[in-house]
A and B are shown apart, each in its own frame.
Chain A
Amino acid sequence: MPIKERFAQVWLVTMLVTYLVYFTAVVTVGEVTPLTQIGMFAATVVAQVIVIGTASAVMAIRHKDGPKSDERDQLIDQRATRIAYQLLLCAMIVVGCLMPFNNSGWKIFHAAVFSIALAEIVRHGLIVSMYRRGWDG
């Protein structure tokens, strides 16, 4: 399995788990103080950094002498990034241009975080899918 595919899998699972926990907490806990909101978000980001940082370090050591990324890795990454960017752009138009008319504060914040998380999940999901199912250009 290419190291890029493995890395995308780690990203995908980490993003799915951490943001599932985060948004479940946001929905179930309800109204909390701003400090608690920030604390919840910070805990999510720290968990991601620890898992992805550790996985990156382990993979870098294991594949120290292995082959670097090639044209296929780059093309897959470009295609996934382009699709995720379009998704993020649409979501940000809703969050930044439409939501301020009807919502405020933490709702907009959560919607923005959700958009970014969704775009990243789609990006890494596409990378994994293109490695698995193939992509003929």
Chain B
Amino acid sequence: MAKKRLRNNLRLMRFLKNEMTQAELGERIGVTRQTIAAIEAGKYSPTLETAFRIAEVFEHPLEEIFQWDIEVQSKTN
């Protein structure tokens, strides 16, 4: 089974949104700055609701911000 991982380009999106800070983004979607940092670093996968809120802030479709990538082929049939 392929092991997949959620990737994101939150850093780029923040840059394109006038260098929005992690704290600002966190405040707008109702999470802490540390949670935004963890999402950016790939250490935490946000809930669907938070992911949609992030997409709403950046006015981009969800799939442009988050990608469901195949990382490792751990087991083949």
Query: A residues bordering B, Cβ < 8 Å?
Result: 1-2, 67, 69-73, 133-137
Contact = CB atoms under 8 A, between A and B. Distances in A.
Contacts of A70: 30-32, 35
Nearest to B35: A72
A136 B31 contact: no
Nearest to B34: A2
Given A67-B26, A72-B38, A135 B44 contact: yes
| Most chain B C-beta atoms within 10 Å of own C-beta, residue among A1, A69, A73, A136 | A136
B42 A134 contact: yes
Nearest to B32: A67
Given A134-B41, A136-B5, A136-B6, A71 B46 contact: yes
B43 interface: yes
